[in-house]
Amino acid sequence: MADSSIRIDPGNGSVEEGRAARAVVTARGVWTAVRRHRVILFGTMALCVLAGVIFILLSTPDYQATASVEVEDVPAGAAGSASAQRPQAPSDNEALMQTELEVLRSRSLAEDVARELALIGNRTLFDAMKVKRPERGSASLSQRQVETEAVIRLLRDNLKVELPGKSRVIRISFTSADPVLSARVANSYADSLIRADLKRGFESGVQARRFLLGELDGARRDLERAERDLAVYAARMGSSEDAQSARPASSAGTSATRLAQLNAFRAQATADRIAAQKRWESARLSSVETLPEVLNNGAMQQLMAQRAQARAELVQQRQFRKAAHPEMREAHARLEALDDQAQVMANTIRASLKEQYDVAIHGEKQIEAEISDVERAALAERGRGVQMSILERTVDTYRLLHDSLLQRYRDMASQAGFQAGRIQPLDRAAVPSRPSSPDIGSTMLLASLGGLALGLLLVGARHVFDDAVTSADTLAERANLPLLGTVPATDRPVVETFVPIASSLLLASSAGLPRSILVTSAQEGEGKSSTVHALALALAKLDRRVLVIDGDMRRPRQRSLFAVTPERGISEVMTGQAKADEVIVASGVPGVSLLLSGAIPPNPAELLSTAALDVLLAGVQDQYDTVLIDAPPILGQPDTSLLAAKAQTTVLVVEWGRNHHGGLRVAVDRLRRAGGAIVGAVLTKQEGRAFEYDYHRGG
């Protein structure tokens, strides 16, 4: 059961192996591209190094002198003791140092240095900078103004200020061709910065004292006005309080107690008004005779009893008399009189309910008015107290401000002229003994690295835009040919390398190994003859009988490869001077026979165009498993086209990295137009792994 819970997922391992394999292939491809175009890489690096050497030889040596100053954490011209100063935050410190750096780069400081060293009016600075001194003015500027602008520009352009890390030390450097002038300018900048800081501190102290004096006068006037307002208000409120104290004690009372009593009365009055309102609303909307006040009234009850009795008598008499009878009219009149009396009494009772409601409303309004009067009086009393407190606090505030400003002014006046500057000298600039530029080491290193980077860039561009055949993919893309195999770049091909290629030829057709195979190339020197030689030996190792025909009658190579020197060959057979059996010789390798070129004819194409070649191939094919024909290059000569039409299949030899899209496509098209059946290509002189199969690609 425990084993059944374990799951093994090989997918991740396969993905990682695939990525590693692709990374290795990519690295090998890069290394191959660099090796292939190493001449471009090394040539570019050599040119860049040479340019660096020329730059060093032609450059004028410059000398850099450096002075340094320290910026202390004491505000220049600040008043007050050191214990009263607040510590600065890191952001304030950074802002302070950046401010000092900008002061060093300012135009005003450059003008101070130019005046101190008397650089305006002589050629010292211009000669040190290898710059021509202005000799005339321009437009609206005089010659001296133009020279002044040039001097200031040279000082600011060649000044370098640095802030090492987060320190408070500023390095001031100046560079020129004169080491003495560089030291003088650097020291002058440091001195001018210190003087400018002291000047700013003194001027800020004077301005601060002047400002404090004005603030002190304003605070004194504000204090006097506040004290005067308090006295006037206290006097006015004092007379009002005396008038209030003369009232009888019985009529007096605190505002809070009176408000509590009135609020209780208002609650009772509100309740009475609501009750009266309900009674009146009921009386106004209901019938008069059904009102409880009417029904509960004694007189109304007696009147209603009389009316009921009169109505009963009228009903009784109606049984015996007609309506015109005097007694019937009298009974009707009495009943109507009783009804009128009841209606009048009911209306009177309802009017009394309305009057009670109006009285309740009036009483509630009177109590609310009384409450409003008491509240206004209480607010007025509270406002007088608040106003008095405000005036007293105003007086205290102005008195405290006045005393503080007065003490600050006394401290500043006592310390005037004794405040130290913020910037202190640290190191004086010495006359440099060696030039600072050009830096030979840095220049050569930069030239080497630049040459390497530029060379790699050129190699990459050459590799990207290079359409030479270097792999099975490029071979299929540019020539639409399958790859039979690759041969590494060696002095002499190894036979074992061609065994896989020979095995591929065994499967080249449905009948197995083709009876005749033409081996050619697009250009000279691609290794076609060596391929024929090694392929014959490889087929012999596979127990195949092979006849090698050297069909390149212009430049035969097979006799030197097999180390045989027959006197006659294929040219004699084609001209009828000999038979094939007479000129075929043994190669010294079991299973391999040779039919070499023989005498070189004046026009090989004329011999190959005759029917003698067909007769030759038909006569030897039954004696051998296959016939390998070494043909001339396809481009430039018509021989190969004639041979391709006679052979059963054709193998194209392509040199790695040499054949490009145009020439290779022309060669393939020419072979196919001639009737040659190209079975594939062999990639020779390979400098890298041109054909690799990735088991993890595409699943």
Per-position DSSP letters for 525-549, written without gaps between them: TSSHHHHHHHHHHHHHHTT--EEEE
Q: By three-state DSSP, how is residue 37 classified?
A: coil
Which tens digits make up the pLDDT trace of 356-379? 888 888 888 888 888 888 777 777
Of 519, 479, 482, the closest CA to residue 666 belongs to 479
Q: What is the pLDDT of residue 171?
A: 93
Per the structure block, which two tokens stand in for 552? 């390149």
Q: What is the pLDDT of residue 430?
A: 92
Lowest mean pLDDT among 9-23, 242-256, 315-329, 629-643: 242-256
Confidence check: pLDDT of 201 > 80 = no
Confidence grade of residue 280 (pLDDT, cut at 50, 70, 90): confident
Between 474 and 26, name the one with better pLDDT. 26
Which tens digits make up the pLDDT trace of 525-573? 888 888 888 889 989 888 889 999 888 888 888 888 888 888 788 888 8
Q: What is the pLDDT of residue 245?
A: 47
Beta-bridge partner residues of 171: 68, 162
Confidence grade of residue 3 (pLDDT, cut at 50, 70, 90): very low
Q: Do residues 529 and 662 make contact, with C-beta atoms less than 8 angstroms apart?
A: no
Q: CA-CA distance, 220 to 226, in Å (whole number)? A: 10
Q: What is the pLDDT of residue 248?
A: 40
Confidence check: pLDDT of 595 > 80 = yes
Transcribe 262-314 into DSSP letters: HHHHHHHHHHHHHHHHHHHHHHHHS-GGG-HHHHT-HHHHHHHHHHHHHHHHH
Q: What is the pLDDT of residue 180?
A: 92
Quote the percentage of the chain above a pLDDT of 70.
85
Beta-bridge partner residues of 681: 483, 652
Backbone angles phi, psi at 58, to 5 degrees: -90, -10
Contacts (Cβ under 8 Å, ≥6 apart) of 416: 205, 209
What CATH number does domain 472-696 carry, 3.30.1340.10, 3.40.50.300, 2.40.10.340, 3.40.50.720?
A: 3.40.50.300
Per the structure block, which two tokens stand in for 316? 């009784």
Confidence grade of residue 310 (pLDDT, cut at 50, 70, 90): confident
Question: For residue 132, how many other CB atoms are within 10 A of its CB?
Answer: 10
Confidence check: pLDDT of 383 > 80 = no
Rounded (10°) angle between helices 10-36 and 38-58: 60
Lowest mean pLDDT among 83-92, 107-116, 476-485: 83-92
- Which residue ranges make up each domain of the chain? 249-416, 472-696
Between 326 and 417, name the one with better pLDDT. 326
Confidence check: pLDDT of 42 > 80 = yes
This prediction has a pTM of 0.42
Contacts (Cβ under 8 Å, ≥6 apart) of 263: 371
Q: Do residues 364 and 318 make contact, with C-beta atoms less than 8 angstroms apart?
A: no
Burial of 572 (0-12, 13-18, 19+ CB in 10 A): buried
The highest-confidence range among 197-201, 291-295, 297-301, by mean pLDDT, is 197-201
Q: What is the mean pLDDT of residues 400-427?
A: 76
Confidence check: pLDDT of 233 > 90 = no
Which tens digits make up the pLDDT trace of 462-500? 766 665 666 666 677 667 788 888 888 776 677 788 888
Beta-bridge partner residues of 518: 629, 650
Half-sphere exposure of 36 (CA within 13 A, CB side): 26
